Chains A and B, each alone.
Chain A
Amino acid sequence: MTHALDNFLFTYQSLIYALGINSLLALSMYVVLAIGQLSLGQAAFMGLGAYASALLTAKFAIPFPLALIAAAAVPALLAFVIGAPTLRLSGVYLAIATIGVGEVLRIFYLNWDYAGGALGLNGIPEEAGFVWIFGVLAVALAGFAAIARSRIGRAMEAIRADEAAAGVMGVNLPVYKLAALVVSAAVAGVAGAFNAHVSSFIGPNEYGFDAAVTILSFALLGGIGSPFGPVLGALVLTALPEVLRPLHDYRLVINGLIIVCVVIFLPGGLLPWRLSRIGAPR
C-alpha cells in the first residue's frame, strides 16, 4: 500500500508539486480579484520570491524556512512600493503598471550575471517537498476562508461590487487595496520559492507575461466567489495538459479556448458558489 503510494508519488512528483504551487498562485490572484482589482504581476512576484530564496539557499546556505520568509517579504515590499502610487488610480492602471514591473524584473534577471543571467540559476537545494507545499496551501486556504467570513470579507466584497459605495460605508479604500496587493505578492513569492526549491533550476523567462496570464486564468476558470474556486481552477488547468498529453503543443490554445468558453457559458467560473460573508450562525 505504502509502496504503491510511493511509486505513484515518484512518477507524478513534479505534477503534484505543480498542482500545489499553482493553487497557491491562484490564491494570490484571488486576493487581488476579490477587491475588484486586476494585477498581471503575479508571475513577477513569484519570480522575485524564487530568485530571492534561491540566492539565499544556493549561494549563502541559508536554511530553507528563513529563505521562505524572505521569499514572502521581498515581493511584498515591492508590491508596497508600486502599490502606493498605482492604487490611487482606478481601472486598468494597476494591470498596466504590474505588466511593466514584470518586464523590468525579467530583463533585470536576464542581465544579472551573479544570478546566472540568461542561463538561469543552478544548484538550488531541493528542500521544498509535499509537506511544505500542501501545508502552506492548506493554511493559506483556511486563512483566506476565515477572512472572507468576517468584517474584512464583507468590506472586500463591497469594494468589488461598488468601490465608491464601499467608501461611503466607511471602508478605508487605500488601505484595503494596498493590503490585498501586498498579501497577494507575498503568497506568490512563497509559491515562487517552492517552485525554485523543487526543480533545482530557475530561469528568467519562467516568470514572464505568459505565466501571469496563466495565473489569471486559474482564478477566472475557478470563480472568485470563494477562495476555493481559484484553487479548483488551478488544479483543473494544471492537470488538463497531462490528461490531454497528445494535444500538448496546443496547450495555450486550449487554455485560451477554455477561458473564452467559461466567460461565455459560466461567467461565475466552475465554482460559482459564493461563500457567506458572515462568521456566526444566523
Chain B
Amino acid sequence: MSKALLAVHDLTVRFGGLTALSGVTFAVEHGAVHGLIGPNGAGKTTAFNLISGMTSQTSGSVALAGAPLDGLPTYMRTARGLARTFQNIRMFRNMSALENVMAGAHLRTHERFRDILLRLPAFRAQETRAVARAREILDFVGLAHQAERPGGDLSYGEQRRLEIARALASEPKLLMLDEPAAGMNPSEKIDLIDLIGRLRARGLTLLLVEHDMHFVMKLCDRITVLNFGAKIAEGSPVDVRSDPTVIEAYLGSKSVRRPGAGA
C-alpha cells in the first residue's frame, strides 16, 4: 500500500436487489485534488455516503491515513479527519452563518460543562476564540459580510461556500465536496475554482464529485470514473478524457468509432 491518505478497497453496497456500488477501489494521495466522476446514477454520491459513514457498506473497506474507518459512525470519522459537503445543501437554516461554522467546529471547541453553566472566564475565552476562528474561515471563503445572516437566507452559491466553511471548521485532513459547482453561475464557479486552489495551497487533500467536466479537468490531479456502480477508468485528466470506455459511458458507443476520438 502506498502512503495514500484515503484508501478505498473493493467497496460494495447492495440495496435489496440493486448493487449501487460494486468492488470499487481507489486511493487519494496526500495533498491531491481527486475527482470522482461518472454519468447520473453511477454511484458517486453513494461512494461519498459510504466513506463518510452515512451508509454502511455490504463489503469492502475504507481507511484514512492507514486506519480503517469501517463500522465507525459519522461523528467518529469526523474526529479522524474527514469532512464533507452535500449535493443537496444541508444547511442549519435558522442558525446564522457564523453559528453554522461554529457548529462545524464542534470537535475543536473545548468547553467544560461546569464552565458553561457558570459562564466562567475559561468558557468565555473559548467562545471568543471560537468566534474569531469562525470569522477567519468565513473570511477565507468570502462570506465575512454575511456572518450574522441565517444560513438559509444566503444565495445558493453562498450556501455552497458556507457548507465548505462549516466543513473546514472541523479542521479535516480530507475534504469531500459533493458537486460543489452545481447550480452556480459562471462567475461563482470562477470564485469556487479559486477557493479550491487556496484550499489546496493550505495542504488540504480534496475528493470531489462534479458534473462540470471543464471544472473537473481544470482542477483535478487524478480522476476516478464510475459507471453503473463500477470503476471503469482512472488516471490523469488527459488520460481519462481520451479513454474510449469513458467516452462510451458518457456519449454512447457510436462516438467511439468517430475518427480521432481514440487515444
> How would you classify the secondary structure of chain B's contact residues: helix, strand, loop or mixed?
helix
Q: Given contacts A150-B127, A158-B103, are A282 and B116 in contact (CB under 8 A)?
A: no
Q: Which residue of B lies closest to A157 (CB)?
A: B95
Within 8 A of B (CB), among A145-190: 146-147, 150-152, 154-155, 157-158, 161-162, 164-173
Q: Tell me the minimal C-beta distance from A162 to chain B in angstroms.
A: 5
User: Could you say which of B75, B96, B123 contacts A167, with CB atoms under 8 Å apart?
Assistant: B75
| Contact (Cβ within 8 A) B106 A278 | no
Of the residues A152, A172, A280, contact of B124 by C-beta under 8 Å: A280
Q: Are A173 and B73 in contact (CB under 8 A)?
A: yes
* C-alpha gap A229/B124 in the complex (Å): 25
B1 at the interface (CB under 8 A from A): no
Q: Are B102 and A154 in contact (CB under 8 A)?
A: yes
Q: Which of B30-63 contact A (CB under 8 A)?
A: 52, 54
Q: Are A278 and B131 in contact (CB under 8 A)?
A: yes
Q: Is B119 in contact with chain A by the CB < 8 A criterion? A: yes
- Which of B83, B118, B130, B148 has the most C-beta atoms of chain A within 10 angstroms of its own C-beta? B130
B119 near A146 (CB under 8 angstroms)?
Answer: yes
Task: Determine if B79 and A170 form an interchain contact, defined as CB atoms under 8 angstroms apart.
Answer: yes
CB–CB B103/A169 < 8 A: yes
Contact A278:B98 (CB < 8 A) given known A168-B84, A170-B170: yes
Chain-A contact segment, one of B86-94, B154-162, B179-187: B86-94
Q: For the complex, is B238 an interface residue (Cβ under 8 Å from A)?
A: no
Q: Give the docked Cα–Cα distance between A69 and B202 (Å).
A: 53
Contact A165 B78 (CB under 8 A): no
A168 touches B106 (CB 8 A): no
A59 touches B (CB below 8 Å):
no
Shortest Cβ distance from B102 into chain A, in angstroms? Answer: 6
**CB distance A169 to B128 under 8 Å?**
no
Q: How far is the CA of A266 from the CA of B145 in the complex (A)?
A: 31
Residues of B within 8 A of A281 (CB): 128
The answer to whether A277 touches B99, judged by C-beta atoms less than 8 angstroms apart, is yes
A155, closest chain B residue (CB): B106
Give the distance to chain B from A255, nearest Cβ to Cβ, in Å: 27
B137 to chain A, nearest CB (A): 13
Q: A168-B54, A169-B166, A282-B98 are in contact. Are A150 and B111 (CB under 8 A)?
A: yes
Interface status of A65 (Cβ within 8 A of chain B): no
B109 within 8 A of partner (CB): yes
A279 and B118 CA atoms in complex are apart in Å by 12
For the complex, give the distance between the alpha carbons of A164 and B170 in Å: 16
> Which 10 interchain pairs have the tightest Cβ spacing?
A280-B127, A170-B78, A170-B107, A167-B74, A161-B92, A165-B90, A150-B116, A280-B128, A154-B103, A279-B127
